[in-house]
Amino acid sequence: MKALGIVRNIDQLGRIVIPMEVGRTQKWEHGTLVEMFATDDGITMRKYQESEKVHQVIVGLEEAKLKAKDVDTIQSLQAAMEYLNTKLQ
C-alpha cells in the first residue's frame, strides 16, 4: 500500500470526500461506483467490478442446478445463468 499524504475530515454526516487527485490516478470519473472492504487497519476502496459479482452468482446457480431434482427448477436456473452470462459480455 502506498501513502498518498492526503488527510480528510469526516463531516457531521459521516462522509469523506475523495480528493480529485485520487480519482484521477485511479481513473475514477464522476459517477464511478466504488466498493469498500473492511481490513484490520481500516478500509480499502476499489472500483466496483460488477463482472466479479455476476460470476460469483453464476457459480452459485451452477451449484444449485447440480443439486436440483425437478426439471422446472433446473430449467429456471439454466435460464437465469444464461441471462447473467449476457451481462458479462
Tell me the per-residue pLDDT of 20-43, one tens digit each, with 9 for 90 and over: 988 888 899 988 889 899 999 899
CB neighbours (10 Å) of residue 20?
A: 9
CB neighbours (10 Å) of residue 22?
A: 14
Q: Are residues 56 and 36 in the same domain?
A: no
Q: What CA–CA distance (Å, rounded) separates 77 from 4?
A: 46
Q: Are residues 3 and 43 in the same domain?
A: yes
Confidence of residue 14 (pLDDT cuts 50, 70, 90): very high
What pLDDT, on the 0 to 100 scale, is given for residue 89?
Answer: 63
Residue 33 sits in a domain of what CATH number? 2.10.260.10
Average pLDDT over all residues of the chain? 88
What is the rounded average pLDDT of the residues 1-7? 84
Q: Are residues 41 and 72 in the same domain?
A: no
- Provide the domain count of the chain: 2
Identify the domain containing residue 78 by its residue range: 51-88
Burial 53-66 (b: 16+ CB within 10 A, else e): eeeeebeebeeebe
Among 52, 19, 20, 21, smallest CA distance to 35 is for: 52
CB neighbours (10 Å) of residue 7?
A: 6
pLDDT digits 0-9 by tens, 44-73: 998 887 777 777 888 889 999 999 999 999
